[in-house]
Amino acid sequence: MRRGGIFNFFLIASAITFLMDWYVFNGLRTLTLDWQSRFARLALPWGFLITSVGITIIFLVGLNSFNTSKGMTPFHEWMLSLFLTFFVTKLVFCIVLSLGDLGRFIAGLVGEHKPGDPYFPQRRKFISEIAVLLAALPFTSFFYAMFRGKYQYKLHTKTIYYDELPEAFDGFTITQLSDIHSGSFDNVDAMQRGIDLAKAQKSDLFVFTGDLVNNAAWEIEQYIDRFGQIKAPFGQFSILGNHDYGDYIQRESEQAKRDNLDKLKRHHAELGYRLLLNENVELEKDGQKISLIGVENWGKGFIQKGDLDKALTGVDDKAFKVLLSHDPTHWEEKVRYHKTDVHLTLSGHTHGAQFGVETAGFRWSPVQYRYLDWAGLIKQNNRHLYVNRGFGFLAFSGRLGIWPEITVITLKKKRA
C-alpha cells in the first residue's frame, strides 16, 4: 500500500474513532452522573476525550511526517501502538454500551419502560460500568505489552531425536535467534537481557534466521558490539529475511538499494556471523560431519530469492542436514517434499503476530489465519520445522502472550 493509501486508510479510521470518542464521552458522563465530586464528574469524561482526541491528532501528524525513504521509526511505532490501544479499548466500550442502548430502545418500543422512568438512567449507568470494566482489559493488556511484554524474553528448549544423526553429534546444541528488527528497539538495557540469556546457553552452534533490520543497514550499527557478544564453538551463522533486502522503503535508485544490502552483508561479518547465501558448510566433530545449509529469503507472497537446489550443491544425500530458511512457507512449499531429505529446518518471520494465547492445551494467534506453521516445533515424516517467535518487534511496539524468544535445540541420537 502506497503512502497516500496508508494515510487515507488511517484518516477514515480516525474519523471513526472521533465518533467513538463522543459515544464513550457520553457513556462516561452517565457513569459519573451521581458522583459527589464535581471535579471528578468533569475530570473523567473530559480527561478521556482530550487524551483520546490528542493521541489521534498526534498520530495523524506523525503519519503525515512518515518518510517513505526511512520507514517506521520507534516514534511512529509508538504512535501507532497508542492509537491502536485506544481504538480497541473504545471499540469494546462502544460495543457493550450500544448493546445496552439497543436493549433500552427495544424495551421502550414494547412499552416495558418509559423514558421518564428512573429505570432508564440507572440501567444505562450500570451498562456504562460494565463497559468500563470490559474495556479496561484491552487497555491494560496493550500497555503491558508495550512497556514490559516486548522485552519479556522466554527460553524455549526442544530435544529432537534422529536415527540418522552422527554419533559424535549426540547432544549437540543450537541456539537460534530470529527477527531482531534492530530499527525498533527503544530500551537498550532491556534488549541486553535477551542477549545475555542467549549467551548463557553456551550452545555448540549459534544461528540467526533473518530480519536483522527493519529496512536499512544502519539500524544494526549501534548494536553490533552487543549482538557480536554471542559466540559458539562451532561458529555463528546467519541468513537474510524479507526485511533485510530493503524492499519496504523508497530509495533514490536501484544502486542505492544494492549498496544498502552490501553494507548489511558486511555488518553480518562484523557481528561475527557467517552469512549463508544459498550455500552450505560442513560442521565436523570427532571425524563425523553434519551439513548446515542457508538459503536467501523465500516466502509465499514475499521475495523469493532462496534456491534450495543451489544451497545443497555438494551435500551428500545421506548427510544429516540442518537448513536455515527465514519464512516457514518455504518449508511447506519447497522443503518437505524435496527429493533430498532435510532433517531440521529453522525459521522465523511470523513473530506469532506478537499477540496471542499459548497455554498447555490451547494456542491461538491471528497469524494462524495466514500461516499454517507459525510458532514452535512441527514434525512431518521425521522432518522437523521449528518456527522461532522472534527476538524483536515491528510496527506494534509491544508483545502480548507471544513473548520474544531465544530457542535452544538439542539434537539426540535415537537409540534402538
All cell numbers assigned to 278 = 544459498
Instruction: Specify the CATH class of 153-413 in words.
Output: alpha beta
Q: Phi and psi of 152, rounded to 5°?
A: -90, 75
Q: What distance in Å separates the CA atoms of residue 90 and residue 136, rounded to the nearest whole number?
A: 10
Domain layout of the chain by residue ranges: 3-147, 153-413
Amino acid 7: pLDDT? 63
Kindly give, in sequence order, each residue whose CB lies less than 8 Å from that of residue 92, ignoring residues fewer than 6 positions away: 131, 134, 135, 137, 138
Cα 179 from Cα 169, distance rounded (Å) = 27
Which pLDDT score, from 0 to 100, does residue 5 have? 58
Q: Per-residue pLDDT for the chain (416 aa), expressed as one digit of tens each?
A: 445 556 677 778 888 899 999 999 999 998 888 888 999 989 999 999 999 999 998 888 877 766 666 777 888 899 999 999 999 999 999 999 888 777 666 666 665 555 555 545 566 778 888 999 999 999 999 999 999 999 999 999 999 999 999 999 999 999 999 999 999 999 999 999 999 999 999 999 999 999 999 999 999 999 999 999 999 999 999 999 999 999 988 888 999 999 999 999 999 999 999 999 999 999 999 999 999 999 999 999 999 999 999 999 999 999 999 999 999 999 999 998 877 789 999 999 999 999 999 988 899 999 999 999 999 999 988 899 999 999 999 999 999 999 999 999 999 998 76
Q: How far apart are CA 40 and CA 46, in angstroms?
A: 10
Residue 180 CB partners (closer than 8 Å, separation 6+): 208, 211, 212, 213, 220, 227, 391, 392
Structural contact between residues 260 and 251, judged by C-beta atoms closer than 8 angstroms:
yes
- Locate 353 and state its grid cell: 503476530
Q: What is the pLDDT of residue 268?
A: 98
Q: Which residues have C-beta within 8 Å of that of residue 348, sequence separation ≥ 6? A: 178, 179, 209, 210, 211, 241, 326, 387, 388, 389, 390
pLDDT at residue number 339: 76
What confidence score (pLDDT) does residue 105 get?
60
pTM tops 0.85? yes
> Residue 1's CB: how many other CB atoms inside 10 A?
8
CA 143 – CA 397 distance, rounded (Å) = 10
Phi, psi dihedrals of residue 384, rounded to the nearest 5° = -120, 145
**CA angle, corner 114, sides to 111 and 119, nearest 5?**
115
Task: Report d(CA 305, CA 298) in Å as an integer.
Answer: 6
Contacts (Cβ under 8 Å, ≥6 apart) of 333 = 300
